[in-house]
Structure 1
């Protein structure tokens, strides 16, 4: 069975779920164009997810993917958080922000029983997971729903583990990819491989389809991944300038400028390694700082700084998530970008939009 048959799409192309920079508009546009659009759900509550799914289905009957995180909520560490607050004190003072402005609210939630019930209610064609898979008491009921399940692997060991658990396909997330690393069996960044090193190893070792992700921004990249045995390709960064994306003004500006040429993996924005365009915060505090609070607690300390800086048109404290290859970012519709990527599959005509 081809990946398109597995997912119910016309094209073996997937839009990467990108929390904070996209919602239903981008997901619906990509699905309508024949690929698999995705809605990132880790930063959304139950009612908001319902609203977004309703919006997608109002625009297309094509399949879409609901994406969730599977991290373990961290234990409170008052001393570590107090130390981090003091580390950021000069930046708070620089922007005239009170140190008490940091919120205690958790900005990202893991997949839980409430989300399982919601998936059972909404019945998307596909769900995907980052940072591993849900616990057994959630995983078995989810599989019983008959929904296709994808998950990210950043190493050969992770790919084998995911196959053993029964996923339908594995996303090979290369080192080049933007946003959070999907690593879950260890935290050593030295184990991370580039897409075109990881991909053929997973293809050779696994029986399930392998989807290439990371650093692929155009039709040539799609074609290269397919030649290495990928069953399909997932693209994220290239969609960030599409009008259907919710990318902020400062983020769009960074993607369009010389600043986009320099990206790095950092933990200072959320507490977990993620790739973004290098800015003041990453230079001043990291990019990797062992004192940053555990994921996702670090985000609450940066949020007031980000808000104040962006109000002044500055991206100094914004997580400018992006992959190493931003060359495919264009101010074009998501449908046009999807069809352009599909040329790497040998497609000559855009798919039907019914």
Structure 2
């Protein structure tokens, strides 16, 4: 069980969801006895300090800070031109000059400066997406008494994490919303359902396995426990919670989506992520050739998103959502946590 490992009452981690939450959601889950999470990969140093100060004011319970640890690759002028050529009709539609777009990476991997910022707060847990950072950073974080966890999408990734310092492994199945956490291989044919992956990880590893993906009901939680999971990580279930900051357009898309309307796409960041299909996904395809690597795709698509959202359209918005979703509108994150865990 992860309760003793993380010093929490309920074996539930609220999945970090950049763009749709802040400390309010994390604190609510913490106060309910779960492990609330703060997504930190897109925060500036000043924002990170501000959010950490607010979080520690709102709860004295254990919490999780989440970071990315990807490698930022070069973004060549040729790649940029190819990407902009694909988007040219949309630029024309919204009268956007592609030459005006900046090419900065919006998502940065954790580094020593960030570690220095979070050190005084000594979070109970630090979680990572896309593997683990350098061993020295992992060792430094663990020296505070902090537990380190990360996402695996295959058994090979789970084994790698167990051999490189993870205290527990999040087994992310194909059903999960948002970005895939894969890092050893980008081959999506290797990805498995949550049930399949949890079974394999439990069979081969002694570390606690945390199930993630397609968990929307108490029965889903009960099923993952029966498979041997030590806990669950849940994200989409909180998207319409009282504390979430999910935009009105995103909320509308969630409530109006048809069954099986989500898909994996690289269009919004350059890396596969699951969201509700919208205009750009339907017109360009979910994973077309020519999309630049993570996170470089985001600058151009964000310009289109901004214009479209001003016009009340979610045609270019990343509408992250898992495959299985039960709307709980305006319910507190604390109550959702208790609902989900009542059969554990």
Sort the TM-score into its range (normalised by shorter chain).
Answer: over 0.9
Q: CA deviation at 1:46?
A: 1.5
Q: Is the 8 A contact 2:242 2:329 kept in 1?
A: no
* Alpha-carbon separation, structure 2, partners of 1:53 and 1:143: 19
- Is 1:129 paired with 2:128? yes
Match in the other structure for 1:205: 204
Q: Is the 8 A contact 1:101 1:304 kept in 2?
A: no
Tell whether the 8 Å contact from 2:265 to 2:274 is kept in structure 1 after alignment.
Answer: yes
Q: Residues 313-352 of structure 1: matches in 2 within 5 Å?
A: 313-345=312-344
Root-mean-square deviation (CA), in Å?
1.2
Alignment of 1:6-155 (within 5 A): 6-155=5-154
Q: Distance in 2 between matches of 1:333 and 1:140?
A: 36
The question of whether the paired residues in 2 share the 8 Å contact of 1:268 and 1:292 is answered with yes
Task: State the shift of 1:259 in Å.
Answer: 4.4
TM-score in terms of structure 2 length = 0.97
Name the structure 2 match of 1:300: 299
Uncovered stretches (5+) of structure 2, i.e. residues with no partner: none
Q: How many aligned residue pairs are there?
A: 344
Whether 2:183 is the aligned partner of 1:184: answer yes
Q: 1:110-142 CA deviation, whole Å, 9 max, x = no partner?
A: 011111212212211110000000012322222
Give 1:15 deviation, angstroms: 0.3
Q: How far apart, CA to CA, are the structure 2 residues paired with 1:260 and 1:30?
A: 28
Contact 1:10 1:34 in 2 (8 A): yes
CA distance in 1, matches of 2:92, 2:5: 53
Task: Give me the whole-angstrom Cα distance separating, in 2, the residues matched to 1:68 and 1:260.
Answer: 32
Counterpart in 1 of 2:270? 271
CA 77–259 in structure 1, closer or farther in 2 if over 3 Å, else same: farther
Shift of 1:289: 1.8
Query: C-alpha displacement at 1:260, in angstroms?
Result: 6.4
Change (3 A) 1:3 1:19: same
Q: Relative to structure 1, is the Cα distance of residues 87 and 277 closer, same or farther in structure 2, using a 3 angstrom cutoff?
A: same
Residue 165 in structure 1 maps to residue 164 in structure 2 = yes
Q: What SS does the corresponding residue of 1:222 show, helix, strand or coil? A: helix
Task: Give unmatched runs, 5+ long, in structure 1.
Answer: 346-354
